[in-house]
Every structure is written in structure tokens, then in C-alpha cells.
Amino acid sequence: MRMTSLQELHRSMIAIKSDMQQFQVTMGSISFDCLFSTRDKPNFTLSLTSRGLSPKFFLFQVKPGYWIVPYFKEFYSELASLLNTGANSGNILKPKEFLEQLNDKMPKVASVGRNPVPSEIIRLRPDITEDRDRPYFDTWMYWSEESGRGPSAENRHKTQLVLGDEALSYSIQRNASSKWSSMDLGKAWKK
């Protein structure tokens, strides 16, 4: 399914120099907090996290041309249950129709006010596993080449999604791990 709204949103994001936007979408009686990220590689991502006491997380890969495959193998049952389209409801979750409705409800214009803060990125992306209780950048921890050590894959994933591609490049070039804090210290990632 081609997500034309994401294409328009991305064009608008480029104009305001944004690589991630947070917004809310309601599908039936369920509301989702959404993150559209162009920081993820090799594909962009669209994450939906249901609002409520037990939030459910769904991550869609946005392929080149703004396509999302209408096949939810990993989470079909969980999404169907959440949307009350299970076998006992008489309704069936049809992925293509779900994506069409989602496409119709998404914003097409980016806003600086919808650039998520680090704590929101962490909250809405449970696939970021490192130091979830510490969403704020503190400093860099440099590793010597001789030590044979360096940033973990989880650290690099968090660095990229919370701080962006430039911070990830810096981490790789300097063999440095990002260190995180539970409090916003107001520190920028650059030296």
C-alpha cells in the first residue's frame, strides 16, 4: 500500500529540517501515538503505540516509494484483537483497508511542535532496549582501538533514533558510546 500521506509529510519535514514527527491517529475506538522516522535505516519507519493502560506497539517498515506491505505477519492477531476485529466480533482486520484508513488520517504537513523530545521517542519505541529509564544524552564514552571494545549495537541503535544520523556517524568515527541520563541536563551530543 502506497502511503501518500507519508510522502507529503516527508516533503514537509524536509522543508523544516525534521527527521521525525509525532502525531496522534484514532482508528475506531483506539487512539495511537505515532512516530514517523526517517532516521531508521535502511527503511523509514512508522510506529503506532496504542494509548491506554496497556499500550501495544506496532512497527511498520516504510519501503522506498512510501510503501508499507499490507501483511502484518508478526502482529496481525495482536492488532486485530486491539481493534476488536477478532474471530468473535464478526469483523475481520484487512491490512490493506487498515493502511488506507491510516493513510487518510495522518497529517500531511510537518510541524516543529511535533518534533518529539527524547523521552517521547523512548516511550513510543520500545524496540530501543538500552537504558530505557535514561532517555537524555549526557556525554560520550570513548573506547581505545587497542581495547577491542566499542559501542554495543543497542547503544548505536539508541544513538541513531534519539540523536540522529550525525550522532551515529560521530559514534562510529570516534569509537564512542553515548552515555545517557534520567534527567534532562540540557546537553547537546556534539563536543
Helix axes 4-15, 95-105, angle to 10 degrees: 30
* C-alpha separations of 142 from 147, 154, 167, 184 in Å: 11, 16, 14, 21
Question: Per-residue pLDDT for 88 more than 80?
Answer: no
Sign of torsion over alpha carbons 14, 15, 20, 22: negative
Percentage of the chain modeled with pLDDT above 90? 82
Domain range for 55 is: 4-115
Question: Per-residue pLDDT for 159 more than 80?
Answer: yes
Q: Which of 80, 115, 150 is the last residue of a domain?
A: 115
pLDDT-derived band at 186 (thresholds 50, 70, 90) equals confident
Q: What is the mean pLDDT of the chain?
A: 93
Task: Please choose, from the candidates 66, 46, 42, 70, the residue with its C-alpha nearest in 3D space to the C-alpha of residue 58.
Answer: 46
Question: Are 121 and 64 part of one and the same domain?
Answer: no
Task: Please choose, from the candidates 36, 99, 91, the residue with its C-alpha nearest in 3D space to the C-alpha of residue 72.
Answer: 99
Q: Which of 54, 86, 115 is the last residue of a domain?
A: 115
Question: Are 19 and 72 part of one and the same domain?
Answer: yes
Question: Per-residue pLDDT for 86 more than 80?
Answer: no
Q: How many domains does the chain have?
A: 2
Contacts for 20 with CB less than 8 Å, ≥ 6 apart: 35, 36, 37, 38, 39, 115, 116, 121
Q: How high is the pLDDT of residue 90?
A: 61
Average pLDDT rounded to a whole number, residues 139-150: 92
Question: Are 139 and 100 part of one and the same domain?
Answer: no
Q: How high is the pLDDT of residue 52?
A: 87
Question: Are 78 and 157 part of one and the same domain?
Answer: no
Task: Kindly provide the b/e burial profile for residues 160-187, where b requires at least 16 CB atoms within 10 angstroms of the residue's own CB.
Answer: bbbbbeebbebbeeebbbbebbeeeeee
Is residue 9 within 8 Å of 36, Cβ to Cβ?
yes
Is residue 168 within 8 Å of 160, Cβ to Cβ?
yes
Percentage of the chain modeled with pLDDT above 70? 96
pLDDT-derived band at 190 (thresholds 50, 70, 90) equals confident
Determine the residue type at 184. D
Question: Per-residue pLDDT for 89 more than 80?
Answer: no
Report pTM. 0.90
Question: Are 74 and 126 part of one and the same domain?
Answer: no
